[in-house]
Structure formats: C-alpha cells, structure tokens
C-alpha cells in the first residue's frame, strides 16, 4: 500500500523538497478518521458554529459585538446568580469532596467502604436532573420529611428565606452531584500521597499540621484547583436540575431555554449570545482543568 | 494495625482513634446527606401518608406500589419508555459503530493522531447540552427541519454527549490488550479484516464495549435538557410532566429511573472488576 500511494502522493509535495517516505504515507492514513471527524463536524462543530455566528452577526449580516454585550447587560442578574452559584458550589464541593475522598481513602475498616464511595460517587455525580430535584423536593420541600424532622428539633427551615427554588436550595441540591464529582477527581491524587512522606515529615519533627501545610496540600493543590474549575463548569452548565426546581429560575442555562421557547422565529440573538458566553466560560474552565490535571499527574507513579 | 503490635502504648492507640474521629464524622455526615433524599423519595413514592400526618404511629402504615401501578397505566407511560429504550439502543449502536473502528484505527495506523482524537472527544464538555440545543436551533432548525421532526434526531447528539465517557472506556480497553499481535496473528492465519475485527478484536474488547454501552445507556435514560427543549416525549420528559398531575406518580417514575440506572452502573462495576487488570472505565 505504501509504495502505490507514495507515487500518487508524490506530485502533491511540490517536487522540490524531498519528503521522507513515512511522511507521505501518513497523509493518506488520516483519511481513516474521516467518518469520525465528519460526525463531530456535523453534530458538534456545526451547532457550535451556528451559536457563535448568530451571536456575532447582526440582522444586517455585519459582525457586531452588541449581541454579546446586550446579553450581559440584559441578563445581568442571571449571570450574577449563575456565577455566584457556580463559585459557591464549586468551592464547597471541592473542599467537602476532598475531605470525603480523604476519609474514604484512609479508612481501613470496613474494606468495602472505599469501593462503595467510588461507585456511589459515579452514580451521584451523574444523577442531576429531574430525579435529583424530586428527591430533594420530597426531603426539603415545604411538605418534606426532612423539613418536618428539622422542625421537631426546633429548626424551622422555611422561617427564613430558604426555598428549594432559590439560591440556598440550589446550592444544597447541586452539592449532591458536585461533591461526588470532586471525590472522583481527587481520589487518585489522595492515593498518590505516600505514607513515607508523612513518616519523613514526622521523623524531622513535623506535626500533622506541618505535614498538611508543607507536603499534603501542596501536592493536592493542582488536583483541588483543577477539580474546582471542573465543578465550576459543571454547575454553570447544569440545566435540568435547576429547571425542575424552578422553571423560571434566573440562571443562564434557564434563560437560554426560556428565550429559545419564547422566540421560535430564531431572530433574536439573545439565546445564542448567552450560549456563546457559556461556551466561552466552559472553554476557559475546562482548559484550566485539563492543564491542572496534567500538572497534578506529576506526583503519580 | 495497633492491635497487631502489643508493644504500642495505650496512648498511641488513643491518638490513632482520635485521628480517625474527623474522617469518620465526615463519612457519617456524607451518609446522611446522600441517603436522606433517596429515602425521602422512596417513602414518598411508596407510602400513602401525607407528611403532616407522619408520626410514630403512622410511620409504617400504608406502604404499597399503588403509585407505580397508577403511573404504569398512564397513557403516555409505555410510549415514552419504549422511545427512550429505542433511543438508548440506537445511541449505543451508533457510538460503537463510530468509536470502535476509529479507536482501533488510531491505535494501529495513526498513533500520531491520538492527541487530536482525545482532544476532540473532550470537546463536548465545552458545548453543554443547553448550548447544543441553541446550536440546533441556530443551525438545524433553518436548514434541516425534516431531520429535527424525527424523534431519532436526538441520537447523534446523544452520541456526542456521551463521547467523553465512551471513547475513554473503549480506548482503555484497546490499550489493555495487545491489539497488534492479535491482528498480526489473525492476518497471518489468513483472516481478512472483517474476520479479524469480529472474531479476534471484538471478543477481546467485550468488557470495554459493554461498559461503554452501559455508560451510553445511562446517559440517554437520564437526558432531559435536549429532549425537553426539542419537545420530544422521552421518559425523563414524561416523568417531569407527569409529576405536575400526579406528584406521587412522578416521584415513583423518578425512583424507577434511578433504580434502573444504578443497576446498570452496578453491573458495570462488577463487570470491570472481574475483567482485565486495567480499569476500563475512567470518568473524565
């Protein structure tokens, strides 16, 4: 195959510069990726391109920033709420998730605990959506069992501003998938903490606190920070859970769907500009996560 | 460990116990936080006692599957469930048809493309479902309405949605076996590419193929965003709508979906544990 192809390929390479045979063969091998690339092009890149195009091209077919800036100014509340919610659940999720992962990784008894935590995290991290919203409604809704139990202990949940359909409620519900996601992200890093490091630290007189401050946390930091960014992205893009709790929630994903359903003509750039912002934010957060993950793998052997 | 070495002083044992106090509290709190919503949901679906009347005397009264039975007889139940199962099957088939050859091809013929393909498979994270729907509205709605009218229009988007998980599962499976030797052995025995693929490679990749199929199925069975926004009557969409007319019925369906997916994932764990040394599933 190589011989027959290289002659065909020969006239493509300008003739002047001699190209190594391996390089010529290779051009053709890329053809094998065509089905995969075509599929992604059609069903991932074209929709993404459609969003970006509609966000930046105005009614007069000219490039414009107004769609994007309008989205920010008109949906200022949604952006603020979404970012606040994502920061809050990512921060809480990262800290609590790392604590849970550490507790599960270092527990010696019972033996099945660790695999239970990992498997359950796999389920819960992907739960989200309608099921999760319903579960919390039956627990902490106005008529929830948990609400009633807390009341008998003298804590009236609904006395203040707590509602499952508003900020504090979203945070509580989102943590149900954020914490397990963090567990899955940090568990490998926690396994990478070698007992010999701890022993070395205590041999030179270090306390538990010095160990964590000087060894443990610096080693875990890239995974924790990476996990934080992943969680931020995860929360910022979550739609179904928030929608099932409150179909009119002032959050960016919900606003996108409200606009899409309200304006079928597709002429308003609003939903597309919001989606373009979301893609941008996702790209930054996921890029940060991937870079930090590479950094975190340095300690793993 | 302290019990094995009798010379360890009582103080050291105590110190270890107090050192475990924090982690054990974390585990206990996590157990409450993660189990309580599930138990509350199960109680709500199974017990016909409003919370106001719930007390010591009524705690174990009126349990039945009546809410499930009612939901099963709802007019849309069967149709939406069948549609979701069909979508899951179609998505699994498409995923496998697309990814198994691609991953094998990259492994055997184009190792240089591995970085690019891996990068492409994580791209769906950058375009979350709700942005994808906006993209569908922006591109497919004006250009290919006929395509969106079919319920199966969801399939390619579900393939993309599950791509980060499924590609990794298949790729990990391929890396854990010696594909090149298998191919060389099969070819030298006179087998064509078709026979090599179906009689040598696929049987050896069965664990990762099954696990990526299960992952795909769980994604499809829980997907709400795209289906709801494109007005397709899938099972999750029906669950959400049914809840507005029958609160207990909706919760019963949600519970059913949860038990279903958990069982799939549980089977997956068992399967991969027994399989080859490498973990075939890695969440991104």
Q: Give the Cα separation of A137 and A160 in Å (integer).
A: 18
- For residues A9 and A65, give the distance between their C-alpha atoms in angstroms, rounded to a whole number: 45
> Are B129 and A239 inside 8 Å of each other by CB?
yes
Angle between helices A76-106 and A217-237 (to 10 degrees): 140
Distance of CA A161 to the CA centre of its chain: 28
Length of chain A: 301
Q: Measured between CB atoms, which of B128, B138, B254 is closest to A272?
A: B138
Decide if pLDDT at A220 tops 80: yes
Mention every residue, 6+ apart, whose C-beta is less than 8 A from residue B239.
A130, A131, B250, B253, B254, B257
User: Is B282 a residue whose pLDDT tops 50?
Assistant: no
Determine the pLDDT at residue A218: 87
Q: What is the pLDDT of residue B1?
A: 43
Q: For residue A13, is pLDDT > 50?
A: no
Whether residue A270 has pLDDT greater than 70: yes
Considering only residues B192 and A37, tell me which one the structure prediction assigns the higher pLDDT: A37
Structure tokens at B48: 């016909």
| pLDDT confidence band for A198 (50 / 70 / 90) | confident
* Per-residue confidence (pLDDT) for residue B95, from 0 to 100: 95
Both tokens assigned to A124: 């819960």
- Residue A138, Cα to own-chain centre: how many angstroms? 27
pLDDT in tens, A85-117: 999 999 999 999 999 999 998 887 788 888 889
Across all residues in chain B, what is the average pLDDT?
Answer: 85
> What pLDDT, on the 0 to 100 scale, is given for residue A255?
93
Dist. CA A126–CA B218, nearest whole Å: 9
Q: Where is pLDDT greater, at A136 or A296?
A: A136
pTM above 0.90, yes or no: no
Give the Cα-Cα-Cα angle B136, B140, B143 (nearest 5 degrees).
155
Higher pLDDT, A202 or B1: A202
Question: By mean pLDDT, which of A140-144, B49-53, B170-174, B244-248 is the weakest?
Answer: B49-53
| Dist. CA A65–CA A122, nearest whole Å | 41
Partner residue opposite B283 with nearest CB, options A33, A122, A138: A122
pLDDT tens figures, A136-180? 999 998 888 899 889 888 888 888 888 888 899 999 999 999 999
* Residue numbers in B near A139 (CB within 8 A): 36-37, 40-41
| Least confident residue range of A121-125, A290-294, B3-7 | B3-7
Q: Name the DSSP letter for residue B192.
A: -
The region of weakest confidence among A56-65, A275-284, B52-61, B164-173 is B52-61
Beta carbons within 8 Å of B255's beta carbon, 6+ residues apart: A131, B41, B42, B45
* 3-class DSSP state of B47: strand
Confidence of residue B215 (pLDDT cuts 50, 70, 90): confident
B63 SS3 class: strand
pLDDT, tens digit, 9 for 90 and up, residues B78-105: 999 999 999 999 999 999 999 999 999 9
CA-closest candidate to residue A124, choices A178, A171, A74: A178
Closest CA to B46 of B65, B31, B30, B33: B65
Report the percentage of chain A scoring pLDDT > 70. Answer: 89
Distance from CA of B203 to the nearest CA of A (A): 23
| Cα of B271 to nearest chain A Cα, Å | 13
Per-residue buried b or exposed e for A193-231, using 16+ beta carbons within 10 Å of the residue's own CB: beeebbeebeeeebeeeebeeebbeebbebbbbbbbbbb
pLDDT at A266: 62
Q: What is the mean pLDDT of residues A215-242?
A: 92
- Which candidate, B153, B158, B274, places its Cα nearest to that of B221? B158
Q: Which residue of A has its CA nearest to B240?
A: A130
Chain mean pLDDT for chain A: 85
Size of interface A-B (CB pairs under 8 A): 234
Residue A238 exposed, middle or buried by CB count within 10 Å (0-12, 13-18, 19+): buried
Nearest to B113 by CA among A21, A4, A27, A287: A27
Residues in chain B: 284
CB pair distance less than 8 Å for B117 and A136: no
pLDDT tens-place string over residues B244-273: 888 889 999 999 999 988 888 878 777 766
Is B236 in contact with A130 (CB distance < 8 Å)? yes
Residue B197: pLDDT over 90: no
> For the ranges A43-47, A70-74, A227-231, which has the lowest average pLDDT?
A70-74
pLDDT band at residue A215 under the 50/70/90 scheme = confident
Contacts of B190 by beta carbon, 8 Å cutoff, 6+ apart:
none
Name the least confident of A133-147, B218-232, B266-280.
Answer: B266-280
Q: Quick one: closest CA in A to B94, which residue?
A: A39
Would you state the pLDDT for residue B11?
A: 60
User: Do residues A135 and B40 lie in contact, with contact meaning Cβ atoms separated by under 8 Å?
Assistant: yes
Least confident interval from A54-58, A253-257, B86-90:
A54-58
* 3-state SS track over chain A: CHHHHHHHHHCCCCCCCCCCHHHHHHHHHHHHHHHHHHHHHHHHHHHHHHHHHHHHECCCCCECCHHHHHHHHHCHHHHHHHHHHHHHHHHHHHHHHHHHHHHHHHCCCCCCHHHHHHHHHHHHHCCCHHHHHHHHHHHHCCCCHHHHHHHHCCCCHHHCCCCCCCHHHHHHHHHHHHHHHHHHHHHHHHHCCCHHHHHHHHHCCCCHHHHHHHHHHHHHHHHHHHHHHHHHHHHHHCCHHHHHHCCCCCCHHHHHHHHHHHCCCCCCCHHHHHHHHHHHHHHHHHHHHHHHHHHHHHHCC
pLDDT at A25 over 70: no
Closest residue, chain B, to A130 (C-alpha) = B240
* Cβ-defined contact of B135 to A50 (cutoff 8 Å): yes
Report CA torsion sign: B123, B126, B128, B134. Answer: negative
CB-CB neighbors (< 8 A) of A271 in chain B: 134, 137
Q: CA-CA distances (angstroms) from residue B172 to A21, A293, B207? A: 31, 18, 10
Please write the tens of the pLDDT for every residue from B119-150. Answer: 899 899 999 999 999 999 888 888 888 888 89
| pLDDT value of residue B244 | 87
From the CA of A122, how many Å to the nearest CA of chain B? 8
Closest CA to B273 of A190, A122, A27: A122
Give me the pLDDT at residue A279, please.
95
Q: How many helices (H) and strands (E) does chain B have?
A: 15, 0
Query: Cβ of B34 and A271 within 8 Å?
Result: no
Contacts of A186 in chain B (CB under 8 A): none
Mean pLDDT of A26-53: 89
Nearest to B228 by CA among B146, B164, B132, B159: B132
User: What Rg value do the Cα atoms of chain B yield, rounded?
Assistant: 25
Q: How far apart are CA B73 and CA B76, in angstroms?
A: 8
| Per-residue pLDDT at A185 exceeds 80 | yes
CA distance B157 to B91: 9
């Amino acid at each position: 195959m190589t011989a027959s192809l290289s002659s065909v390929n020969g006239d493509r390479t300008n003739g002047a510069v001699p190209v190594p045979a391996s390089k010529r063969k290779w051009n053709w091998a890329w053809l094998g990726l065509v089905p995969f690339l075509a599929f992604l092009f059609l069903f991932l890149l074209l929709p993404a391109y459609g969003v970006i195009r509609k966000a930046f091209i105005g009614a007069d077919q000219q490039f414009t920033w107004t769609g994007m800036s309008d989205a920010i100014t008109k949906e200022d509340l949604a952006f603020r709420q979404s970012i606040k919610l994502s920061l809050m659940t990512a921060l809480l999720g990262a800290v609590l998730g790392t604590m849970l992962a550490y507790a599960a990784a270092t527990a010696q008894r019972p033996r099945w605990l660790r695999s239970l935590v990992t498997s359950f995290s796999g389920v819960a991290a992907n739960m989200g959506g309608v099921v999760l919203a319903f579960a919390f409604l039956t627990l902490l809704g106005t008529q929830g069992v948990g609400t009633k139990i807390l009341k008998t202990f003298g804590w009236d949940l609904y006395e203040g501003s707590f509602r499952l359909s508003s900020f504090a409620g979203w945070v509580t519900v989102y943590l149900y998938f954020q914490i397990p996601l963090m567990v899955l992200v940090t568990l490998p890093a926690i396994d990478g903490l070698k007992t010999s490091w701890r022993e070395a630290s205590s041999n030179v007189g270090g306390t538990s606190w010095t160990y964590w401050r000087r060894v443990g946390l610096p080693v875990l930091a890239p995974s924790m920070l990476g996990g934080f960014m992943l969680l931020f992205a995860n929360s910022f893009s979550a739609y179904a859970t928030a929608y099932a709790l409150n179909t009119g929630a002032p959050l960016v994903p919900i606003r996108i769907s409200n606009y899409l359903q309200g304006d079928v003509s597709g002429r308003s750039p609003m939903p597309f500009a919001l989606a373009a912002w979301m893609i941008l934010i996702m790209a930054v957060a996921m890029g940060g996560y991937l870079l930090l993950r590479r950094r975190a793998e340095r300690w793993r052997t | 460990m302290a019990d094995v070495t009798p010379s360890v002083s009582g103080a050291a044992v105590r110190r270890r116990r107090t050192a475990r106090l924090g982690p054990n509290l974390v585990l206990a709190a996590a157990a409450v936080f993660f189990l309580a919503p599930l138990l509350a949901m199960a109680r709500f679906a199974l017990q016909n006692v409003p919370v106001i009347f719930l007390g010591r005397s009524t705690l174990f009264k009126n349990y039945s599957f009546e809410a499930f039975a009612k939901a099963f007889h709802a007019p849309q139940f069967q149709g939406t469930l069948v549609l979701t199962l069909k979508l899951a099957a179609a998505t699994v088939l498409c995923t496998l048809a697309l990814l198994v050859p691609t991953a094998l091809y990259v492994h055997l013929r184009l190792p240089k493309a591995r970085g690019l393909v891996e990068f492409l498979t994580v791209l769906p994270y950058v375009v979350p479902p709700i942005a994808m729907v906006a993209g569908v509205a922006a591109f497919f709605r004006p250009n290919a309405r006929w395509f969106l009218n079919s319920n199966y229009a969801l399939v390619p988007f579900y393939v993309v949605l599950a791509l980060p998980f499924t590609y990794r599962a298949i790729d990990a499976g391929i890396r854990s076996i010696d594909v090149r030797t298998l191919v060389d052995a099969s070819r030298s025995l006179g087998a064509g590419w078709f026979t090599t693929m179906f009689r040598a490679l696929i049987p050896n990749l069965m664990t990762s193929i099954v696990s990526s199929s299960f992952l795909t199925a769980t994604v499809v069975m829980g997907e709400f965003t795209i289906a709801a926004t494109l007005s397709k009557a899938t099972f999750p969409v029906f669950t959400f709508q049914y809840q507005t007319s029958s609160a207990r019925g909706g919760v019963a369906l949600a519970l059913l979906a949860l038990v279903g997916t958990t069982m799939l994932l549980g089977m997956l764990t068992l399967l991969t544990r027994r399989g080859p040394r490498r973990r075939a599933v890695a969440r991104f």
